Amino acid sequence: MELNPRFTFETFVVGASNQLAASAAQAVAAAPGSVYNPLFLYAKSGLGKTHLVQAVGHGALTRQPALAVRYLTLEEFVEQYHAAVAAGQSDAFRRSAEEADILLIDDVQFLAKHREMQAELLRLAEALQSAGRQVMLTSDRPPAEIQDLDERLISRLSGGLLVDMAAPDFETRLAILRRKADERTMVFASGVLETVAEIGAANVRELVGLVNRLIAFQAVSDVPLTPQGARALLTGDAAESGAAPAPAVAPRDSRDEFSAFLSAVTRSVAQSLDAWRSRVGEAVMRWQGEGYRTARLEQLLQNDVVPDVETELKQFSADIEELQRLAAEVAELDVSAAGHARFKDPDRVDEARAFAARLREGTAPPPPPSSALTFDDYVEGQANEAVVRAARLVAREPGRRYNPLFISGPSGVGKTHLVHAVGNALAAASPGAVIACLSATAFIEELVAAIDGGKLEWWRRRYRRADAVLIDDVQQIAGKERTQEELFNLFNALADAEKQLVFSADRLPTQLADVAQRLITRFEGGLVVELVAPDRSMREKMVQRLLQAHGVAAEDDVVQYLAARPADSARAVQGLVNRALSAMDAADASLTMRTVRTAIEGRAARPSQAQAISSLVPAGLDPTLSSREKLVWDWPDVGERLMEELR
């Protein structure tokens, strides 16, 4: 539809009642698409909507003649659309509509009658706006009051600037009247137009009607109209003009009760349904404030579909709780890893979970028992029969039979071997079980390193998840208060969970110096057994086994000789055999009684104990073994010691 050349900004009378609308329209005409898009202008009938909307078209064309300005009323828009659809040209229609730089649609309140057009208009408005093209609409009421208008369209139309125009005030009315009179080159007596302005009219169109009537009267009358005459003329049939304001308001008043009810319900529903948006919005603000990614919730807001807000929000906070839990867990293992973005994004819970699991798995398990030291290699004899039986029972029924098992005995009698043998048996019995088997010295060192590295909690966790803990040479914790405390807590945690604990020490629990009483009583709470020096038959077995291990065949008398030599520990027996073997190697002969006797007794003056020690201990062994304190030389006959069972 062509723009009416009379409807320009120049002919538009601006007053207080329409100033905002006029300046908004000017701004849009000056820079289409960049300000107030869309511009939605609403006013009652006859107040200048059509004038102003067309003035925007003119104004824009004056500045940029190349612009494609399209003005049409909604009815025309609907007609064109229907014609296009009927001709199967709806796409062409859309394309041409989208090519407009400025789309001006008048009287969109009639959208209420055209539901199908609402979707079309919404689509078109979106397309134009996203292309930076201007949309301007007029209506006799704000979008929210247009019946049956799709909520999305309401929000789309209200998204730019919503501006209304009121009925003109006295001054504006007078200015309009003067302009109309000027246009008709009609001169009225002074006071006449003022009187007309005073009489007032509901809208400009009516006002123009009043002027027209005066002009018509004047044209046929020789006498100029006086103000009184004008008043008499216009109010003579004042019933008509006085009633005139009513029709302007009428459409709303005459709406039946059902329509009023319908719009009330529509408002309620819109408010209620929009409440979910604000709830989701609040959640977004909250979680973003705490540094979490809220892409999922923002996605919800993008959708037109109303989601199940309750479930979505619940799931989201559940995911965040999970993340917090994982982050806390990871922080104990690796502080820096907990700060990773994956712990701030509820959409990456699975990733975070996998990461935590990896970290959990990846933590070095506590030291396992040495695989070389098993029950198979352990030499049993009368002297240690009871102890070994107890150890085997523990291995068979961990945690239930004797917990803890405390093995005491002097150095070199096989405590360490026995402890590791129990550990290996436990590991063999339940594959996958975590068996911690280490010396107390190593335990202390690990603890110190953990405290130093700030990984104490990780270290604790590492041991607490063990299925059995075996600690050798536990007398080493003497005086180490922190270790004792940790051990105490570990002891309690594992014992409560019926996990097996095994300790060994060079003395009985009660003899442990500088160890907290609460630990000692716990050590005694299970079974305390004592290993003693090997007896003759055990020594014989050991000698045989050692010689076999070296692949040396020996006469029985040699074996008997070696076994009969005084030796207070397994290590001492080993030393004897080693000396015999080295003598044999030196003489490059077989192992005969003579070589052995020379080797053992040749320097049998036993010059000094220190020499004896150094000769007993093969070079390259743990230097602690060569310390005088570790070796007890005058071993009392304790072969038949009783083992006590306290429970």
Partner 1 sequence: MSLVNFTTREITCKIVYYGPGRSGKTTNLQYIYTQVPDDRKGRMVSLATQTDRTLFFDFLPIDLGSISGFTTKFQLYTVPGQVYYNATRKLVLQGADGVVFVADSQLRQLDENIESLQNLQANVLEHGIDVRTLPMVVQFNKQDLPRELILSPEELDDALNFRGHPTFPADALHGTGVFETLKAISAEVLRKLSEGAGAARRG
Q: In what order do the strands lie in the sheet with 102-106?
A: 69-73, 102-106, 134-139, 39-43, 161-165
Query: Does 535 participate in binding partner 1 (rule CB under 8 A)?
Result: no
Angle at 137 between CA 136 and CA 142, to 5 degrees: 130
Query: Does 308 participate in binding partner 1 (rule CB under 8 A)?
Result: yes
Rounded CA-CA distance 45/171 in Å is: 20
Which residue stretch of 48-56, 126-134, 150-158, 173-181 sits at the interface with partner 1 (rule: CB under 8 A)?
150-158
Instruction: Give the residue with the Cβ less far from partner 1, 303 or 608.
Output: 303
Which of 98, 145, 150, 169 is close enough to bind partner 1 by CB under 8 A?
150
Instruction: Give the residue with the Cβ less far from partner 1, 170 or 261.
Output: 261
Angle at 561 between CA 557 and CA 565, to 5 degrees: 170
**151-210: which residues touch partner 1 (CB under 8 A)?**
151-152
Rounded least distance, CB 256 to partner 1, Å: 6
Q: How is the chain split among helix, strand and coil, in percent rounded to 5? A: 60, 10, 35
Query: Does 144 participate in binding partner 1 (rule CB under 8 A)?
Result: no
Instruction: Give the residue with the Cβ less far from partner 1, 261 or 633.
Output: 261
Which residue stretch of 42-50, 205-213, 264-272, 600-608 sits at the interface with partner 1 (rule: CB under 8 A)?
264-272
Contact yes or no for 53/103 (Cβ under 8 A) = no
Which of 187, 264, 354, 586 is close enough to bind partner 1 by CB under 8 A?
264
What residues form DSSP beta bridges with 459? none
Helix (H, G, I), strand (E, B) or coil at 405: strand
Query: Does 148 participate in binding partner 1 (rule CB under 8 A)?
Result: yes
With a CB cutoff of 8 Å and minimum separation 6, the contacts of 439 are 416, 471, 472, 473, 476
Token pair 């002969």: residue: 589
Contact yes or no for 56/63 (Cβ under 8 A) = no
Instruction: Give the residue with the Cβ less far from partner 1, 109 or 403.
Output: 109
Specify the amino acid at residue 561: Y
Rounded CA-CA distance 325/328 in Å is: 5
Query: Does 332 participate in binding partner 1 (rule CB under 8 A)?
Result: no
DSSP result, 75-141: HHHHHHHHHHHHTT-HHHHHHHHHT-SEEEEE-GGGGGG-HHHHHHHHHHHHHHHHTT-EEEEEESS
Which residue stretch of 2-10, 30-38, 175-183, 256-264 sits at the interface with partner 1 (rule: CB under 8 A)?
256-264
Name the residue among 77, 12, 90, 81 with its Cα closest to residue 48.
Answer: 12
Query: Does 145 participate in binding partner 1 (rule CB under 8 A)?
Result: no
Rounded least distance, CB 149 to partner 1, Å: 10
Which residue stretch of 48-56, 122-130, 255-263, 594-602 sits at the interface with partner 1 (rule: CB under 8 A)?
255-263
Cis peptide before 404 (omega within 30 of 0): yes
Query: Which pair of structure tokens corresponds to residue 483?
Result: 């270790």
Instruction: Give the residue with the Cβ less far from partner 1, 26 or 266.
Output: 266
Q: What are phi and psi of 232, to 5 degrees?
A: -60, -40
Name the residue among 373, 410, 390, 386 with its Cα closest to residue 570.
Answer: 410
Query: Does 112 participate in binding partner 1 (rule CB under 8 A)?
Result: no
Helix (H, G, I), strand (E, B) or coil at 65: coil
Query: Does 275 participate in binding partner 1 (rule CB under 8 A)?
Result: yes
Which residue stretch of 271-279, 361-369, 381-389, 568-576 sits at the interface with partner 1 (rule: CB under 8 A)?
271-279
Rounded least distance, CB 265 to partner 1, Å: 5
Size of the site for partner 1 (CB under 8 A): 28
Beta strand pairing status for 435-439 and 468-472?
A: parallel
Query: Does 485 participate in binding partner 1 (rule CB under 8 A)?
Result: no
Instruction: Give the residue with the Cβ less far from partner 1, 119 or 354.
Output: 119
Query: Does 301 participate in binding partner 1 (rule CB under 8 A)?
Result: no
Instruction: Give the residue with the Cβ less far from partner 1, 251 or 602.
Output: 251
Q: In what order do the strands lie in the sheet with 527-530?
A: 435-439, 468-472, 500-505, 405-408, 527-530, 644-645
Which of 273, 335, 357, 589 is close enough to bind partner 1 by CB under 8 A?
273
Query: Does 119 participate in binding partner 1 (rule CB under 8 A)?
Result: no
Instruction: Give the residue with the Cβ less far from partner 1, 256 or 452.
Output: 256
Query: Does 271 participate in binding partner 1 (rule CB under 8 A)?
Result: yes
Contact yes or no for 180/211 (Cβ under 8 A) = yes
Sign of the CA dihedral 473, 479, 480, 482? positive
Instruction: Give the residue with the Cβ less far from partner 1, 270 or 331.
Output: 270
Query: Does 85 participate in binding partner 1 (rule CB under 8 A)?
Result: no
Instruction: Give the residue with the Cβ less far from partner 1, 310 or 498.
Output: 310
Query: Does 265 participate in binding partner 1 (rule CB under 8 A)?
Result: yes
With a CB cutoff of 8 Å and minimum separation 6, the contacts of 372 are 420
Query: Does 272 participate in binding partner 1 (rule CB under 8 A)?
Result: yes
Rounded CA-CA distance 47/139 in Å is: 11
What's the half-sphere exposure (Cβ side, CA atoms, 13 Å) at 247? 11
Query: Does 306 participate in binding partner 1 (rule CB under 8 A)?
Result: yes
Instruction: Give the residue with the Cβ less far from partner 1, 304 or 556.
Output: 304
Query: Which pair of structure tokens corresponds to residue 448?
Result: 């110190």
Instruction: Give the residue with the Cβ less far from partner 1, 36 or 316.
Output: 316
Query: Does 266 participate in binding partner 1 (rule CB under 8 A)?
Result: yes
Instruction: Give the residue with the Cβ less far from partner 1, 255 or 518.
Output: 255
Which of 142, 227, 247, 307 is close enough to bind partner 1 by CB under 8 A?
307
Name the residue among 444, 433, 496 with its Cα closest to residue 468.
Answer: 433
Rounded least distance, CB 155 to partner 1, Å: 11
Which residue stretch of 121-129, 253-261, 288-296, 607-615 sits at the interface with partner 1 (rule: CB under 8 A)?
253-261
Which of 27, 270, 349, 444 is close enough to bind partner 1 by CB under 8 A?
270
Instruction: Give the residue with the Cβ less far from partner 1, 274 or 637.
Output: 274
Q: Tell me which residues touch partner 1 (CB under 8 A).
A: 148, 150-152, 256-258, 260-262, 264-266, 268-273, 275-276, 279, 304, 306-310
